[in-house]
Amino acid sequence: MTELRSHIWHVAHGRSIEVGKQSVIMAIVNVTPDSFSDGGHYEAVDAAVAHALSCVEDGAAIIDVGGESTKPGADAVSASEEQGRVLPVIEALRSRTEALISVDTYRADTARLAIGAGAHIVNDVFGLQREPDIAALAAQTGAGLCIMHTGRDRQKLPDVIDDQLLFLNRSLDIAVAAGVGRQHIVLDPGFGFAKESAEENLELMARFNALLRFELPLLVGTSRKRFVGTITGRDAGDRDAGTAATSAILRLQGAALFRVHNVAINRDALAVADAILRTRARLKA
């Protein structure tokens, strides 16, 4: 287990959030017809907004709004289609909640429009390496950046941690060159994103605290992923208990933020993990 460490994550529109001392939940709101576990459920703006507000009531501090499925083999959408899905939801949420709003996109133009609509954070599943202009945008606007590792469209190193270090250091170089301060950055090891097997994801979990060397907050997104289904034998919609187990384990390994579909069950699992970490800190004092 790791020690509790506090970071102040600075995001757009003059906002900030403390992460590390207590688990922070980022709720997934997919405004898509084809996401792997909830595609089509929240395609309409009213349904997406209602779901997001329900997640906030359940304990989410951040709402992550996405307009393009990133599941393996998903059909790409145009930038205009993505923007047509996410911007009305972000605009509606801006006046309805104090929760932070994140846009899940790898497109700099979508990120720019989303920040203008009220988003505070850009969650880039290509870690700035597909459209590096996102880094310059973050530097200009003060947006928070979630920089995610992926193995897609490239040759990975054989060792899971070596590949994390290679990819994420490259992403951090892009961010620093653009003028993004470390206080704006969160890293995500990208569970399920071109991790070739359940075993690779499990090894990443088992060795997760190796990523603490970055000395940046770590976000994890294991929610309903295929490897959780491989372990539990459950279909995508029935993997919330398995997800909560991974959340608690990763919290004890040093993760600070948790991107999930089911906020309530993960909130409870993380409350237990947080209590263990506080007790450990008290006994060590």
Rounded CA separation 46/94 (Å) = 14
Asked about 225 being catalytic, the answer comes back as: yes
Active site residue: 85, 112, 224, 259, which one?
259
Tokens 């972000």 belong to: 90
Active site residue: 195, 224, 225, 226, which one?
225
Q: Are 116 and 73 in contact (CB under 8 A)?
A: no
Give all strands (DSSP E) within the chain, no chain letters. 7-10, 16-19, 24-30, 62-66, 100-104, 121-124, 144-148, 185-188, 219-220, 257-260
Using CA atoms of 29, 30, 36, 37 in order, give the dihedral in degrees to the nearest 10. 40
Rounded CA separation 28/35 (Å) = 11
Q: Are 121 and 145 in contact (CB under 8 A)?
A: yes
- Measuring CA to CA, which residue among 65, 121, 58 is closest to residue 93? 65
Q: Are 237 and 213 in contact (CB under 8 A)?
A: no
β 24-30/257-260 pair status: parallel
Rounded CA separation 191/36 (Å) = 15
Helix intervals (H) in 25-76? 45-58
The residues that are catalytic are 225, 259
